[in-house]
Amino acid sequence: MKRLKILMVVPYKARDLEGHALVGYHLERKYGHQVIYSNGYGLEQKILVHAPDVLVLDHLAWNFKVEQA
């Protein structure tokens, strides 16, 4: 299985980090993927810097989220 680099956007650290970290831990331990956590600010630049195989967004309810996707 190919090891993937996953960029996971955590929209609100105080509320969302724990849940995202649990999912990321599972992906790292069970499948060997590399998980990078980030907020959504400057996302385009972070994609260029990290060159992830997968980008995980929380939802697309707001227009700026759709633009990021």
Give the pLDDT confidence of 20-33 residue by residue, as tens digits.
Answer: 999 999 999 999 99
Rounded-to-integer distance, Cα 17 and Cα 33, Å: 18
Question: pTM for the complete prediction?
Answer: 0.84
pLDDT given at position 1: 75
Give the pLDDT confidence of 43-56 residue by residue, as tens digits.
Answer: 899 999 999 999 99
SS3 state of residue 56: strand
| CA atoms in the 13 A half-sphere facing the CB of 34 | 9
